[in-house]
């Protein structure tokens, strides 16, 4: 990690100066403090990646400072230094979270090696933490509609239990996301989350996949292999498309649920497993029971807590937030430029019958980000079947309850489209629609309309023609546009 910020805390001035000189020569950004209290104050201000910390200091000693630093920012790497270190101090520092322990007088080579290693570890740890956050965002349940609020409340309540859960709902509604949230909010969150798509595994292999097999138990079984239930021990297994499971495999799943026991294919040995089962299906299991294709006793065992995953048409008000979420996610994942979706597009999305639900919306947003070159995605960028949505339906007067709400919506939409039409040039837009430029600025401020900075800078005067709180003309624009 280049140019890591380093804080050195030591009550010996010659140590501070010598360490600072060595590290500064290697292009590290170095700050120093002569006491534990001063060091903590400086730490809060600069938040260094690495701290070099003396063990023995008057007042607030090194171990106390180490503990406070680790409580404030666990990712910070701390290297302890001491002139008379004992093994107990070293063990205590290691227990609290110190990265390394250097003895005085400090060897230049050992100092630089320890700092380089600490910087590399910090960089990897930070990268992993960022990746973890990114993955959590990827599997986030987005939406604040009434049905989603109710769903999240149910999930948070059920997650704390060990109960089996059956998630039902149409394809593409996010049943996997519900299962993951149940796992991550449970006491098993630090343990494995194992997903099995029962529909994607051939019937002759499903038992081996779920319960494992012994070497030579069937043709192609060249080695012993653990099953998904075994891998998920003390964690959660998510059986997606449970309705496609064979009757024979259903019987074995029932045995796991009732006895906590599995048996590998080709083995006489019974193994105990501790696994929470979450199942999901888009099929009518009660009808499959009537048709003799699904075990009734397994259904009752799975359906301890039923959770319904709502279709997108039941949560239309979440579409704007979902679009924003997908735009941000894809832009970060693929380094796409973020683009704005015209309000007419969002309205058309709200009227469209999403047969593939959220998955279909997600895929369309990604496709539009890839294929569209303009800053704003408009109706003409949509697939033909969406462009055919009648304008009346796309506008939908039913959404407005008051005249003021309707007036503000139409006025904002008109200004956004005109700004887009004239490439966000404020002067030209004001001139073409016949209002003073200052009035246009005032309306933009009122409706929180933001134009791209680069366009505004290229076609507009600088800060002298910025937004005016009371809508006055700026000195350089008075009389130019008329009123």
The pLDDT score that the predictor gives to residue 126 is 81
Read off the pLDDT of each residue in 91-97 and give the average, rounded to a whole number. Answer: 87
pLDDT confidence tier of residue 481, bands split at 50, 70 and 90 = very low
The pLDDT score that the predictor gives to residue 10 is 93
Same domain, 68 and 21: yes
Same domain, 248 and 357: no
The residue ranking higher by pLDDT, 420 or 469, is 420
Does residue 331 fall inside a structural domain? yes
Which of the listed residues 96, 129, 162 is the one where a domain comes to its end? 129
CATH of the domain at 158: 3.40.50.300
Separation of alpha carbons 199 and 240, rounded Å: 8
* pLDDT surpasses 60 at 200: yes
Does residue 134 fall inside a structural domain? no
Same domain, 296 and 431: no
Separation of alpha carbons 47 and 65, rounded Å: 14
Among 134-148, 304-318, 454-468, the range scoring the smallest mean pLDDT is 454-468
Read off the pLDDT of each residue in 409-433 and give the average, rounded to a whole number. Answer: 87
Residue 346 near residue 320, CB atoms below 8 Å? yes
Does residue 98 fall inside a structural domain? yes
Separation of alpha carbons 344 and 378, rounded Å: 7
The pLDDT score that the predictor gives to residue 469 is 35
Separation of alpha carbons 260 and 252, rounded Å: 10
pLDDT tens-place string over residues 109-144: 999 999 999 999 998 888 776 665 555 566 788 998
Separation of alpha carbons 35 and 385, rounded Å: 70
Does residue 390 fall inside a structural domain? no
Same domain, 73 and 163: no
Residue 262 near residue 273, CB atoms below 8 Å? yes
The residue ranking higher by pLDDT, 318 or 387, is 318
Does residue 138 fall inside a structural domain? no
pLDDT confidence tier of residue 2, bands split at 50, 70 and 90 = low
CATH of the domain at 366: 1.10.8.60
Same domain, 454 and 407: yes
Same domain, 98 and 40: yes
Burial class (CB in 10 A: 0-12, 13-18, 19+), 56: middle
Residue 217 near residue 267, CB atoms below 8 Å? yes
Quick check: helix, strand or coil at residue 464? helix
Which residues form the domain of 345? 318-375
Residue 19: which of 121, 132, 108 has the closest Cα? Answer: 108
The pLDDT score that the predictor gives to residue 467 is 36
Mean pLDDT score of the chain: 85
Does residue 382 fall inside a structural domain? no
pLDDT confidence tier of residue 462, bands split at 50, 70 and 90 = very low
- CA distances for 164 relative to 239, 279, 316, angstroms: 11, 8, 30
Among 169-183, 364-378, 393-407, the range scoring the smallest mean pLDDT is 393-407
Span between the terminal Cα atoms of the chain, in Å:
59
Same domain, 95 and 174: no
Exposure string of 228-267, with b = 16+ CB inside 10 Å and e = fewer, is bbbebbebbbbbbbbbbbeeebbebbbebbeeeebbbbee
The pLDDT score that the predictor gives to residue 471 is 37
Which two structure tokens, joined as six digits, stand for 19? 């360490």
Concatenated DSSP letters of 145-214: SHHHHHHHHHHHHHHTS---EEEE--TTS-HHHHHHHHHHTSTTTTS-EEEEETTTS-HHHHHHHHHEE-
Residue 84 near residue 56, CB atoms below 8 Å? yes
Same domain, 35 and 157: no
* pLDDT surpasses 80 at 90: no
Same domain, 164 and 197: yes
Number of domains, the chain: 4
pLDDT tens-place string over residues 222-258: 888 899 999 999 999 999 999 999 999 999 999 999 9
Same domain, 239 and 125: no
The pLDDT score that the predictor gives to residue 21 is 93
Read off the pLDDT of each residue in 329-349 and give the average, rounded to a whole number. Answer: 85
Separation of alpha carbons 70 and 67, rounded Å: 5
Same domain, 155 and 302: yes
Concatenated DSSP letters of 199-258: TTS-HHHHHHHHHEE-TTSSTT--S-EE-HHHHTTTSEEEEETGGGS-HHHHHHHHHHHH
Which two structure tokens, joined as six digits, stand for 92? 């205590």
Separation of alpha carbons 103 and 101, rounded Å: 7
Which of the listed residues 285, 308, 331 is the one where a domain comes to its end? 308
Read off the pLDDT of each residue in 58-68 and give the average, rounded to a whole number. Answer: 89
The pLDDT score that the predictor gives to residue 104 is 86
Q: What percent of the chain has pLDDT over 90?
A: 53
Burial class (CB in 10 A: 0-12, 13-18, 19+), 191: middle
The pLDDT score that the predictor gives to residue 390 is 45
Is the four-CA dihedral 445, 449, 454, 456 of positive or negative sign? negative
CATH of the domain at 70: 3.40.50.2300
The pLDDT score that the predictor gives to residue 134 is 53
Does residue 140 fall inside a structural domain? no
Same domain, 158 and 298: yes
Residue 324: which of 351, 355, 308, 345 has the closest Cα? Answer: 345
The residue ranking higher by pLDDT, 393 or 483, is 393
* pLDDT surpasses 70 at 378: yes
Residue 278 near residue 167, CB atoms below 8 Å? yes
* pLDDT surpasses 80 at 13: yes
What strands lie across the sheet with 276-281, from one edge to the other? 193-197, 236-240, 276-281, 165-168, 305-308
Which of the listed residues 257, 289, 308 is the one where a domain comes to its end? 308
Does residue 136 fall inside a structural domain? no
Separation of alpha carbons 111 and 19, rounded Å: 8
Residue 202 near residue 246, CB atoms below 8 Å? no
Exposure string of 274-294, with b = 16+ CB inside 10 Å and e = fewer, is ebbbbbbbbbebeebbeeebb
Separation of alpha carbons 400 and 397, rounded Å: 6
């Amino acid at each position: 990690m280049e140019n890591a910020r380093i804080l050195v805390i030591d009550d010996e001035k010659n140590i501070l100066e010598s360490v600072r000189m060595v590290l500064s020569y290697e292009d590290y950004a170095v700050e120093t403090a002569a006491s534990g209290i001063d060091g903590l104050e400086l730490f809060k201000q600069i938040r260094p990646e690495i701290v070099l910390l003396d063990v023995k200091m008057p007042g607030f000693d090194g171990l106390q400072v180490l503990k406070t630093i680790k409580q404030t920012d666990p990712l910070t790497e701390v290297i302890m230094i001491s002139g008379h270190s004992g093994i107990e101090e070293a063990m205590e520092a290691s227990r609290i979270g110190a990265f390394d322990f250097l003895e005085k007088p400090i060897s230049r080579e050992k100092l630089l090696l320890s700092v380089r290693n600490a910087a590399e570890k910090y960089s990897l740890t930070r990268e992993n933490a960022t990746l973890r956050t990114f993955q959590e965002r990827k599997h986030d349940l987005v939406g604040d509609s009434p049905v989603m609020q109710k769903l999240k409340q149910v999930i948070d309540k059920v997650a704390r239990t060990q109960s089996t859960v059956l998630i039902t709902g149409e394809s593409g509604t996010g049943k996997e996301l519900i299962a993951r949230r149940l796992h991550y909010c449970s006491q098993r969150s630090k343990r494995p989350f194992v997903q099995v798509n029962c529909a994607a595994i051939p019937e002759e292999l499903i038992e081996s996949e779920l319960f494992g097999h012994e070497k030579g138990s069937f043709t192609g079984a060249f080695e012993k292999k653990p099953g998904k239930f075994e891998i998920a021990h003390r964690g959660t297994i998510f059986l997606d498309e449970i309705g496609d499971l064979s009757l024979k495999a259903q019987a074995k799943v029932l045995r796991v649920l009732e006895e906590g026991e599995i048996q590998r294919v080709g083995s006489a040995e019974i193994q105990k497993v501790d696994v929470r089962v979450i199942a999901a299906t888009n099929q009518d299991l009660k009808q499959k029971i009537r048709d003799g294709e699904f075990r009734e006793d397994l259904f009752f065992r799975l359906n301890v807590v039923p959770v319904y995953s709502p279709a997108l048409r039941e949560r239309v008000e979440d579409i704007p937030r979902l679009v924003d979420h997908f735009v941000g996610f894809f832009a970060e994942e693929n380094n796409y430029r973020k683009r704005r979706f015209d309000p007419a597009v969002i309205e058309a999305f709200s009227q469209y019958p999403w047969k593939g639900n959220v998955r279909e919306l997600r895929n369309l947003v990604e496709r539009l980000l890839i294929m569209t070159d303009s800053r704003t995605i408009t109706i003409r960028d949509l697939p033909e079947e969406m462009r055919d949505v009648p304008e009346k339906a796309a506008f939908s007067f039913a959404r407005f309850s008051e005249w003021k709400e309707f007036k503000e919506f139409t006025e904002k939409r008109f200004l956004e489209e005109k700004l887009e039409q004239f490439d966000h040039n404020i002067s030209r837009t004001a001139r073409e629609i016949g209002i003073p430029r200052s009035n246009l600025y005032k309306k933009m401020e009122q409706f929180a309309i933001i134009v791209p900075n680069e366009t505004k800078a290229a076609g507009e005067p600088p800060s002298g023609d910025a937004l005016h709180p009371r809508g006055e003309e700026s000195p350089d624009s008075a009389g130019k546009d008329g009123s």
